[in-house]
Structure 1
Amino acid sequence: MTKHEVVEICAGAGGQALGLEKAGFEHALAIELDENACNTLRTNRSTWKVAEGDVADLSVWDPADYEGVALLAGGVPCPPFSIAGRQLGASDERDLFAWAVEQVAVVRPRALLLENVRGLSMPRFTGYRQHVLDRLTQFGYVAEWRLLHASDFGVPQLRPRFILVALKPEDAPYFRWPEPRSSAPTVGETLIDLMASNGWHGAKEWAKRADKIAPTIVGGSKKHGGADLGPTRAKRAWAALGVDALGIADAPPSAKESDDFKPKLTCEMVARIQGWSDEYTWEFTGRKTSRYRQIGNAFPPPVAHAVGSAIMRAFHHEGTPKTVDDTEHDPIYKTLRASSGFVTPERLMKSADLDDRAELERRIGLLSRDFEVEIRTEGTKTRYRLGSFKAFIGQEDHARHDLFLKHRARIS
């Protein structure tokens, strides 16, 4: 059988890694910044080569050493696109999405898989997404985006993830996004055995109350305090399920707790909510807060397994080939990019089928957060020209380097 190796960047504690392994991929290399997450990877897979450090540092790993690997995959940092954050995108020093896409030209993998938060799918980032698709097209790949929900793959929480898959033209017609499987179990069904494991008599009644899937687990950031289950809205959702979200417990509730006690989750319980189970076994290392962040920031293994299997089926050319259509996200960006000179508002509005000048200016404003946009005004006439992409793609003089060093201890 053909060996299908994967290089995984920003591997975290191994959620995506475990899912891809289940799909049939073998890890040639996993790169991760966090020391505790690296220890978790090494503890679970002692034969894997794990590189610890900044994924964009050539002294940590050289992408050219892995040219021709079957899959380049990763879950690059989410804060640049998170709805809960400032959505700085290309202006955020933690943004590695564009850099990861550029590595395709070096590694020349058979396929690319990158996952991120739902925020990247929003109108704020239409230009950013179009730039990514255009670059992959230039590199000779066919790319697709898709928003997948973890709950569609047996994971008992919402957790929408925006996923990019790119394949070479000979494989792309055989790629189909995985279909949703049976509905996810509830929080109560998922955790009742753990809640009862220390003798708590109220576990059965609690499980009846916890009769829905969980809100999205929030891994949190090193910039903030200890582990808890997220912002105020998430805490209210957990409270409705009978869970105290103000922290993580060291152990399940004991027999001395009253039947109406509102328990906190343990790290083991959070891992269950993230999709780790008897089918996806894993051990997490480090102190409680670190373990929680490793679990909470992970890509659920069942979802990675499903997407990885879909890529593997495309490699094997299973099924009937489909027609591959180009995806266009932002006609304004494309019109500006296609022109070497300045473009009139009338031309841009026509390209995007707009009749509202204010809407055009709003979209130009969004583009200018990720790209340099030059505006020339002569009398009453205004024209626009698209400049350089602000994102870090490997430039030696990019501000990302100094900011990364300054904030490294708080990057997660």
Structure 2
Amino acid sequence: MSHLEVVEICAGAGGQAYGLHRAGFHHALAVELDAQAAATLEANSNWRVAVGDVADPAVWDPSEYKGIALLAGGVPCPPFSMAGKQLGSADERDLFAWAVEQVGILKPRALMLENVRGLAAPRFAAYRQHVLDRLAEFGYVGDWRLLTSADFGLPQLRPRFVLVAMKPKDAAYFRWPEPMARRLTVGEALGDLMAENGWPHAREWAAFANGIAPTLVGGSKKHGGADLGPTRAKLAWSKLGVDAKGIAEEAPGPDAPHFSLRAPRLTIPMVARLQGWGSDSGWIFTGRKTSQYRQIGNAFPPPVAEAVGRAIKSALLHEGTPHQVPELVSDLHDPIYRELSRAADFVSLERLVAAMTVGTESLVQRQLAVLARDFELEELQTANGPMYRLGDFKGFTGESSHPRNEYIAQHRNRVS
């Protein structure tokens, strides 16, 4: 147990990997689709890095890592992002449910998956419930938590929705990390980097940039470039004395004007600092500027990964005082899904209304419409009213015949 190994899927440029390494985990394998991000992983470690579609059996064999201490990953965010269409299981990039299925193969001591805040929305209540119920079938206690990166030493908000799952004997020792007492500001984090080329206004700028930045937006191969986000984010950056319309090659020099006349742009090292790669990390990002920015902007911040990783490690070592784990499924996200998934046959509308405790027929009907976006749903009209039966999950869980595989094969260079 002094050498805890992790398999990390969708590893990106190593934000989660670096944080887990600092927490005491050692990578047995990192899997990444993007060749440039994989090159960054290889440039900063001696880990085994598998490059390709994580769901492709030719890229790696999950059964080779059975009994690993931790299965971790930052599966693609666009299926759940509030900036997109929130297609969930209908998005060709969705790998969350597939990742959960690997728990049944690897049987890790712990699972850690992170995604955007959008996954916490009511739209995905049934999806989350499906994940928890599936983990319970494997014998794991699953729990979700929305963590704000600013609470863990980063001068940006960057909320991340994190899933941690363990067997009950270990889950009894798991506690979510506590927020830090004080938040770091943008000026405090970047003051030295802004001053490195002799800009005379750097100290004044650092005092002016005394707030928390909006979430960095890395973009995808479909959309997004090397700027700091949409219009609302750019406005927030301007209030911190930053021009968010692009990334600079270097910090402002001795002849650069006052930030009130022309706000400076951030450099790649500054963006990396904001995302949690400290000055002592020595992390190298490969590729051109836009690729480097995308790698950084899409990463799970190392300090957050480290905080959760330390909490997982402490639980696996059974440190501290155990607490009660009353049931395998620790939370109830969607009572309609739960009622339907447990029924052997059709369920009446009246029974579904009762399952919601406080609900109406119209509210249940709306919930069913949302549920049908991720699951097959049968409706049967009877003399006593409509009845419903839950069918298969529509998302990709590893089926060789799933349309997702064909899409990835045809559009790999566009998927990120």
Name the structure 2 match of 1:124: 123
Say which SS state the counterpart of residue 178 (structure 1) adopts.
coil
Which 10-residue stretch deviates more, 371-380 or 398-407? Answer: 371-380
SS in 2 for 1:176: coil
- Following superposition, the deviation at residue 379 of structure 1 comes to 5.8
Conservation of the 8 A alpha-carbon contact between 1:153 and 1:182: no
Partner of 2:374: 370
**1:296 corresponds to which letter in structure 2?**
G
Is the CA contact (8 Å cut-off) linking 2:168 and 2:325 kept in structure 1?
no
1:22-48: CA deviation from partner (whole Å, max 9, x where unpaired): 111110000001111111111110x21
What TM-score do you get using the length of structure 2 for normalisation?
0.97
Cα offset, 1:279, TM superposition:
4.4
Deviation by residue 1:126-149 (Cα, 9 ceiling, x = unmatched): 100111011111101111111111
Task: Give yes or no for the alignment of 1:6 onto 2:6.
Answer: yes
Aligned-partner Cα distance in 2 for 1:67–1:225: 38
Q: C-alpha distance in 2, partners of 1:201/1:2?
A: 49
Is contact 2:268–2:289 with CA below 8 Å preserved after alignment?
yes
Q: Aligned partner of 2:249: which letter?
A: D
SS at match of 1:182: coil
2:64 corresponds to 1:60: no
Letter in 2 for 1:7: V
| Identical aligned residues as a percent | 62
Task: Give the structure 1 partner of residue 302 of structure 2.
Answer: 301
In structure 2, which of residues 389, 402, 412 is the aligned counterpart of residue 385 of structure 1? 389
Q: Helix, strand or coil: the match of 1:317?
A: coil
The Cα of 1:181 is off from its aligned counterpart by 1.5
Q: Is 2:273–2:279's contact at 8 Å kept on the other side of the alignment?
A: no
Rounded to whole Å, the distance in 1 between the matches of 2:31 and 2:15 is 14
Does 2:216 align with 1:212?
no
Distance 1:301 1:218 in 2: 16
2:380 match: secondary structure: strand
Which residue number in structure 2 is paired with residue 99 of structure 1? 98
Amino acid corresponding to residue 253 of structure 2 in structure 1: S
Shift of 1:403: 1.6
Q: Which residue of 2 aligns with 1:336?
A: 340
Q: Which residue of 2 aligns with 1:316?
A: 317
**How many Å separate the matches in 2 of 1:281 and 1:300?**
15
Contact 1:354 1:360 (C-alpha < 8 Å) held by counterparts: no
Measured on the aligned residues, the alpha-carbon RMSD in Å equals 1.2
Q: Once superposed, which parts of structure 1, at least 4 consecutive aligned residues long, lie more than 6 Å away?
A: none
Matching residue of 1:15: 15
Distance in 1 separating the partners of 2:399 and 2:379: 25
SS at match of 1:170: helix
Pair 1:232–1:379, CA change in 2 (3 A): farther
Q: TM-score, normalised by structure 1?
A: 0.98
Moved more, 239-248 or 321-330: 321-330
- CA distance in structure 1 between the aligned counterparts of 2:83 and 2:356, rounded to whole angstroms: 29
Provide structure 2 residue ranges, at least 5 long, that are not aligned to the other structure: none
Alignment of structure 1 residues 74-89 onto 2, 5 Å: 74-89=73-88
Q: Residue 13 of structure 1 aligns to which amino acid in structure 2? A: A
* 1:248-269 alpha-carbon deviations (Å, 9 max, x no partner): 1111112221113201111111
Deviations 1:241-296 (A, max 9, x none): 11111111111112221113201111111111101113433111110000000000
Q: What amino acid is aligned across from residue 103 of structure 1 in structure 2?
A: Q
How far is the alpha carbon of 1:314 from its aligned partner? 0.5
CA distance in 1, matches of 2:325, 2:281: 33
1:13-412 correspondence runs (5 A): 13-45=13-45, 47-260=46-259, 261-325=262-326, 326-378=330-382, 381-412=385-416
- Secondary structure at 1:72's aligned position in 2? strand
One-letter code aligned to 1:347: R
Q: Deviations over 1:348-407 (max 9, x none)?
A: 010012342221111111111110111122467211111100110001111101122232
Structure 1: gaps (5+ residues)? none
Distance 1:279 1:183 in 2: 21
SS at match of 1:369: coil
Equivalent position SS for 1:174:
coil
Q: What code does the residue aligned with 1:61 have?
A: W
Residue by residue over 1:325-351, the C-alpha shift from the partner in whole angstroms, topping out at 9 and shown as x without a partner, is 432111100111111211111100100
